[in-house]
Every structure is written in C-alpha cells, then in structure tokens.
Structure 1
C-alpha cells in the first residue's frame, strides 16, 4: 500500500503538537506501508518531498500561500493509493488529490477552524478561506480521524453533514523512549534556575488557544518559593506577542524567579526541564488532546491542566494531575491547583509515577500506527 502523508510541519521544522504527531506517526507508518511524506519547505530526501508556496504569492495572505502549496502537493500524489492529510494547511491538498487521482482521502483533525475564532486575528480574511478549505475537505473525506473522543464530538457538532460512521477516534501517541526522566541538570544550570527551589513549567506557542495570558495572571500569587519557567515562542500575531510581553513584565515585577525562554528548545532540553518541574501546567482554552501533557507525564511530572477538549482523556484528575474547569474562576483555580501540587511533594511524586505508567501503557506510537493502517485498509476495501 502506497500512502501519501501530507503535513505542514516535519523535522526539522516542527513547532506544534500536530507536527510532533506527524513526525512519530510517519516513523511508525514507514515500517508498515510504502510511505511518501509531503511537507512544507525546500528540497527532497529520505522519502520527504517538500513544497514551498509560489513566489508570485510572496507577501500575499497566508491562506492563499497555503493553497498554492496544496496545489503542488496534489500534483505530486499521482502514484499513491491513499492520501492522508493533517491540519487545514494540507486538507485541501488531500481533497484535490482525491478528485484528481481518484484515491481515498483520510484526514486527521488536530483542531477545528470553527472553534478557533481568534484565528481571524492572525489570518484576517484568510480565516474565511481556511474555514472553507477545512469544511470542503472534511465533508468529502472518506474517513476522518479524531485524536480524542471529545474531538469526535466537536467534529460532528461543527459539521453535521458529515456521516458519524466516517469519524474514527485514534488517540495521539508518545515515544516513551525519548520522553523519559532525565535527571541531569546542565540545562537548568544554563538557564539559571535555582535548583533548591521548585518550578512550574509551561511549554507551548504564544497563542490564544494555549491560554498563556491566563497562566501569567494565575501564577502571580502562587507559593513565592516557586519559580516559573515559560518555554514560549512563535507568537501568532504581533498583538498577542505584545500582550505576552506586557504580562511577563508585570509578573517579573510582582515576583522573582520568573524565566522566559523565547524559542522552541531542542527535545532533549525540554525533556530535562519536564523531568525536574514540580508541575507542568497546560492552561489551554481549546485542546483536542494535548500531546504536551503526554510528554510531561512520560517524564514523570504531574500535570495541572484545564478541563477542556480531550485533556481529560489523557490526564486523570487526582491520579496523574489536577484538572481545572474553564470557568469564571479559571485563573484562581489554576493557582490553587498549582499550590496543591507544590505543597505536597509526595503526592506530586505519586502523580508523576502514575503519569509515566499511563503514558507507557496506553499511548505508544506503534499502537497508533497499527490502528491507522487498519483504517486505511477498511477505507480501501470500501473504495
């Protein structure tokens, strides 16, 4: 079976959870099928064909530039028996390949445009185009993979024309051989962390979805002995970048021990930071699954997260971490949950151990790949 896998992000250009998903899924799929990866970028090699937006569109709206990449991808999929797209950035490419080459299209929904209205702030009128592309692709896809049960409900709620039988749940995975406790301290020392004090850690993009402003306000009043480490980069817009910087300055004036790392760190460095954190915090306002929570759990770290989307399918409240309702008291709830974990290191240790056990036992990428290939086989039988 020859499969074309379509993605915006692929190593070395991975900046979000969808990119992590595709990176590890592709590694495992390559052992099971004849796999061609089509990604954004320049060049070709190791089974990866990269496509860049048309130079005639340099400076144009990002949605138009995305569509030019989708056209190039569709043109290069003529030898595939099935195409599998990820995110709206490539969904249209998968849909066009289905029409052009007469092959089935499977798409994985990592998020949904109707549930991310703040994208209009980033894309302007391009948000209408991204929404159109997603709707067109998802309603015509032969199968849609939801990364959580909650995500499946969201898909069917946003797209009622989609037949429920075409939507399948295959959870995200985690490589627990890469994400595992690392007790070295060189990264902590280079950042300048005080190893005698605990710290809470955030890792993610500066975007409305990730709830970073909520976090910056919530941690003002947590245990003053705790440090705060923010691995936060890739702001969606100049406006949210300015908002983040203003809140960071206010937080730094209000308490000491606040550290901002304004870039995406290499994976080994993130693993070390996750390992030593007293708590990992995920304040997302929208999260289909939240792969970063799995990464923290695999490193043996308790998680404090918002009770939204698919997060409760990963973080077991009271066992591997604490979940906070996204309500009017959200920021205060985050602070209380963080203080609960910081105030009971023994309970935190038990949560971390349980999280590692759950990540290893239930979210391996080999299992995710086998489930995905079984779905491919079912789709091809029905084609």
Structure 2
C-alpha cells in the first residue's frame, strides 16, 4: 500500500494570536506524523484577532516537519454586521480553496484522506471535497458543545448540517465514549465510530524524583484550565479551599491558565481573603514545561468542571504521578476506572463532596501510586500509542 497523504482540517490550531489554542489538535497531528505511515499536512483558516492590511493574510510553511498553511481573514470586512457574516464565510471558503490547491501542487496529487478536527465549517469543506473529488473524510470531535450543559445552544440549522456531515464521514472519532454518546443523543450518529484518547507528551510530563523531606512540605493544590468559570467552576474550587485553610495550615492553591473571567476570579479570590495570605496564586498562561513542573510538585490536581469531553490536564497530571480530584461529567468517569485508583471523583457543583475528597487526598497522599498513575497515562495517551491507533483507523478507511 502506498504512503497515504492525509490533509488535516482543524477548527482550532495554534496560531499567531495564541500558540496554545487547539494545542491538543496539534499533538494529535504530531503523533500521527511520527507514528503512522501517513504523510500529513495541516490547512487552517480563522478570523484574525487583529488588524490586517488586506482582507486575508497567509502563512504558508512547507519547510517544517509537515506542511502547515494558516490563513487569517478580517473579523469585520465592511463593518456592517449583516454583510460581514456571509462575507466571512466566503473568505473562509476562499482561504480553504487556496490552501487546498497549494497543497495539491506541493504533493503532486490530491490527498487520499481528509481528517477533520472539530466541526462544523471544516466538515462542510471536507464534505464538498468528497462530493467533488471523491476524497473520503474522518471526523475527530473534542467539543463540549455537545454535552448537556451546552447543547441547548445549538441552533436548528447547525443541528441539521452537523447530522448530515457526521453521517457522510467514513468514521466518527471522539476522544471519549461520553462525548460519542452525547452526540448520538443529539442525532449526530455515524455507522462507524471509534474512541481514541488525546495525546499526553509522556517525555515532558513525568514524576519528579522523590527527595528526602518531601512529605514535610505544605500541601499544594493545582488547577489548570481556561478561565471560564461557567464551565470550569474555578470559583467553587476557591470557596472549598477557603474552608480547608483552618484544617491544613500552609495550604496553597495554584491556578494556571488564562481566559475571559480572570478579573472576576481574581476579585472573588480577594473577597474570600485568599490573596492577602498567599493561599491562592494566579499563575497566568504557562508554557507546557512549566505546567509539567507544577504538576510534578503538586499534592493533587483539582478539577471542578461542569463539562469535560476528555480533560487533557487530568491525564497530564497522571503522567506526572499526581493524583486528581475531578467531577463525574462527560468523558471523565471512563478515565477513572477502576474507581478510586487514579484519584477521586465527585458530582459537579457538590462543594461539600469536593471538600471531603480533597481532605481525603491530603490526609493520605501515598494511597495513589505514582508509578501506577504514570503507567496508565502512558498506555492510554503516549504519542506512539495514539499515533498507531490512528494508523489503524486510516488503513481501515482507505481499504474500504
């Protein structure tokens, strides 16, 4: 069988305005490039988050590990909202068509397979390629949009189009069975579906060597997420930590991330008295190396999300030998089987249960084996394992 050429079409992907946006998609692409038999390329188009000299701007890189074409188009081409919405759709299509032609010239042929990451425009373009060029496509979905907390916001038109695109894909891949089932509940069903985990860089995320006196350190809790309190419920974590201070002198909560609710969360921490005594520290946006170091030194990672399709940080912490306290939501429970082996789970919004679970982990941190946590993360999420799973998926689709 010849080397297949696979074109990746992500909705989210690291770009000039945010090098961590969609980085989990980037890790999937890297794992596939390194550990499958496919030649890959990435074609990405998005609204610009700053001024552009022209309607579109292009970054076409053919010299990296794989061809990566990024296009940006104006957020308000005319300044008239009624005109700008359809015009942005046309600009998106123009960018994708230009990038597709450039890649076909680079390869000397059309791709053998298109891999869509996160719907919907990406999937519509892939569907068009299937109709016009007979190129099959597979879909990877990560989005919490399909989970019960958010699915009511999906418009009827989006539902109709998503149902049609998913049905016409060769395969629907989701990062968790929980997400697959949530999509099926909305009518987004494909006859062939598969669950493959997100990627964890197990070379970067690893336990730190045990040092003498480590058990004498004050307990440190870590939270890593986008600052979106409606979904991540960071304010709930802070309220619980405020109540735990009396029982655990020196307790610290370190919060890494960035997002729209940063000012509101800082104000909430201040109102709880968590900033004055240094109980809470907002670390801001951290590079992955710094996140790995934080996880390796934390007593536990705490996630109190109301919606998660997978939760990359939960498995990154596991790879570092760090136990997790998290919520039973979306795809999280399936990552914590058998129960109480890799951490403790509570119901979303149940602050007393979260307080009890954190207390239990702080009281007996050695109950969770760092080596066992590490082994499980490697089996599930190491780049080689994920890349080989995608290789099997591609071969199956192309055979059929």
Structure 1 counterpart SS, 2:273: helix
Q: Could you tell me how far apart the structure 1 residues matched to 2:19 and 2:295 are?
A: 18
Query: Which blocks of at least 5 consecutive residues in structure 1 are unaligned?
Result: 186-194
Do structure 1's residue 289 and structure 2's residue 310 form an aligned pair? yes
Deviation at 1:262, TM superposition (A): 5.4
The residue that corresponds to 2:380 in the other structure is 362
Count of matched residue positions in the alignment of Structure 1 and Structure 2? 357
Question: Structure 1 residues 221 and 40 mapped into 2: Cα distance closer, same or farther (>3 Å)?
Answer: farther
Structure 2 counterpart SS, 1:289: coil
The residue that corresponds to 1:228 in the other structure is 253
The residue that corresponds to 1:26 in the other structure is 29
Question: Structure 1 residues 245 and 58 mapped into 2: Cα distance closer, same or farther (>3 Å)?
Answer: farther
Matches within 5 A, 1:60-209: 65=88, 68-69=91-92, 71-77=94-100, 79-88=110-119, 90-115=122-147, 134-159=162-187, 162-163=189-190, 165-182=191-208, 196-207=217-228, 208-209=230-231
- If the length of structure 1 is used for normalisation, what is the TM-score? 0.81
Do structure 1's residue 303 and structure 2's residue 324 form an aligned pair? yes
Deviation at 1:34, TM superposition (A): 1.3
Structure 1 counterpart SS, 2:286: coil
The residue that corresponds to 1:192 in the other structure is none
Cα contact 2:326–2:345 (8 A) shared by 1: yes
Deviation at 1:322, TM superposition (A): 0.6
Partner deviation per Cα, 1:175-209 (whole Å, 9 max, x = no partner): 21111124699xxxxxxxxx942210001101232
Structure 2 counterpart SS, 1:280: strand
Deviation at 1:100, TM superposition (A): 3.9
Do structure 1's residue 353 and structure 2's residue 371 form an aligned pair? yes
Which of these residues, 233, 238, 245, is aligned with residue 266 of structure 2? 245
Query: Which blocks of at least 5 consecutive residues in structure 2 are unaligned?
Result: 47-57, 102-109
Deviation at 1:301, TM superposition (A): 0.4
Structure of larger gyration radius: 2
Deviation at 1:156, TM superposition (A): 1.2
Q: Could you tell me how far apart the structure 1 residues matched to 2:147 and 2:380 are?
A: 28
Q: Could you tell me how far apart the structure 2 residues matched to 1:14 and 1:129 are?
A: 31
Deviation at 1:3, TM superposition (A): 0.7
Structure 2 counterpart SS, 1:172: coil
Between stretches 307-316 and 202-211, larger displacement belongs to 307-316
Do structure 1's residue 332 and structure 2's residue 337 form an aligned pair? no
Deviation at 1:22, TM superposition (A): 2.0
Between stretches 143-152 and 311-320, larger displacement belongs to 311-320
Deviation at 1:231, TM superposition (A): 0.7
Q: Could you tell me how far apart the structure 1 residues matched to 2:19 and 2:126 are?
A: 20
Q: Could you tell me how far apart the structure 2 residues matched to 1:88 and 1:25 are?
A: 16
Deviation at 1:33, TM superposition (A): 0.8
Task: Name whichever structure is richer in helix by fraction.
Answer: 1
Deviation at 1:96, TM superposition (A): 3.5
Deviation at 1:109, TM superposition (A): 0.9
